[in-house]
Amino acid sequence: MKLLRRSARRPELDPGKVALQARNVAFDWSAVDLHWMSAEPYASHLISALNMLLPEGERMFIVTYREALAYVKDEKLREDMLGFIGQESMHAETHEKVLREVLIANGIDAEPYVRQMEYLFRKTLGPRGGDDRAGRQMLVERLAFIACLEHFFAWLGDWVINADLEKFGADPRMADLFRWHGAEEVEHRNVAHDVAEYFGVGYVRRCASMVLVFPIFIALVVRGAKFLVHQDPRLPDHGYPRVIASVLGAMWRGALPGIPSLLVSALSTFQPGYSPENVGSTAQAVAYLAQSPAARAAAS
Ligand SMILES: [Fe+2]
Ligand SMILES: [Fe+2]
């Protein structure tokens, strides 16, 4: 499988922008260990934190795009936005299932973290309503935030498609979950950027949003990892310094993406002519999606 993934990453094979479609997936979540990368419990928790963070975050994307659609006259962009909404709905629904059938089923009380995400994404970043100037301005701010987050998701998607998680004893279902999601993030990586530009998000606002989004995103994921470590009876209940040290160790071994390369990627959005086009390969993403076990199981 890995050979196919790597061989597909050749620019000459890239099909360019593709029509976005939501792919159904079918997973059997019975008997998945919380340490789904058996050799890397801290990395398992850090990536699993996304199952608590993403459902609310992606639902905020969907609500915002539905609101934004009313102002979009460009037919191609509308089509991309509808494909994006379809894919993000499936992501949110699938991670919500993992939250219930893996994390909660294994004794994690996810409620406090999930409530905080609800507050953040529904109240702080939720719709303000109203067709006035302030309402429209808030919509544009949210679209700029989404574009920043989508840059990270595409980058992380590209990382996970190419990472050798199997080396750390990864459960194939969890690896496929994140690779399927990651591949669709690579596939639709241009949409949020195109939408933000359509709504007038320029260089200054893009950079300002990234300055805010980068630390918030890292903080939320690390907080989620600490939250899971705290509830894990098989790990010592360490404070942030030792949890962060363990996370950095996992990054060093390649079980997590490294902060320096994530930072370099964030800084690439500060280039005046930035485009998400080079964040990953559509050909490789589409090749992975064609062979994803969960996507194939749902199609059969
Ligand atoms: Fe997504
Ligand atoms: Fe996305």
Residue 11: Cβ within 10 Å count: 8
> Which ligand sits closest to the CA of 189?
2
Taking Cα atoms as reference points, which of 174, 167, 228, 176 lies closest to residue 42?
Answer: 228
Quick one: which of 295, 132, 278 has its CA closest to 193?
278
Which tokens sit at 1?
Answer: 């499988």
Give residue 136's pLDDT. 86
- pLDDT of 288 reads 96
Q: How far is the CA of 81 from the centre of ligand 2 (A)?
A: 11
pLDDT in tens, 74-124: 999 999 999 999 999 999 999 999 999 999 999 999 999 999 999 988 878
What is the band of 3 on the pLDDT scale with cuts at 50, 70, 90? Answer: very low
Task: Kindly give the distance from the C-alpha atom of residue 192 to the centroid of ligand 2, in angstroms, as a whole number.
Answer: 8
Please give the pLDDT value at position 135.
Answer: 81
Q: Is the predicted pLDDT of residue 267 greater than 60, yes or no? A: yes
Angle, CA of 209, 212 and 217, to the nearest 5°: 110
So what's the pLDDT on residue 150? 97
DSSP category for residue 37: B
pLDDT band at 7 (very low <50, low <70, confident <90, very high): very low
pLDDT tier at 201, thresholds 50, 70, 90: very high
What percent of the chain clears pLDDT 90, i.e. is strictly above it?
83
Dist. CA 87–CA 72, nearest whole Å = 19
**Beta-strand (E) ranges in the chain?**
none
CA atoms within 13 Å, Cβ hemisphere of 201: 29
CA of 87 to the centre of ligand 2 (A): 8
pLDDT digits (tens, 9 = 90+) for 157-168: 999 999 999 999
Q: Name the amino acid, one letter, at 55.
A: P
- Closest listed ligand to the CA of 148: 2
| Ligand 1 centroid to residue 216 C-alpha, Å | 18
The pLDDT of residue 300 is above 90: no
| Low-confidence winner among 7-16, 83-92, 140-149, 277-286 (lowest mean pLDDT) | 7-16
Q: Average model confidence (pLDDT) for the chain?
A: 92
Whose atoms come closest to the Cα of 80: which ligand? 2
CATH code 1.10.620 for 41-293: no
Give Cβ neighbours of residue 59 (< 8 Å, ≥ 6 apart): 92, 121
- The tokens describing 242, both together, are 């030792």
Query: What is the pLDDT, as a whole number, of residue 153?
Result: 96
In the predicted model, is pLDDT for residue 18 greater than 80? no
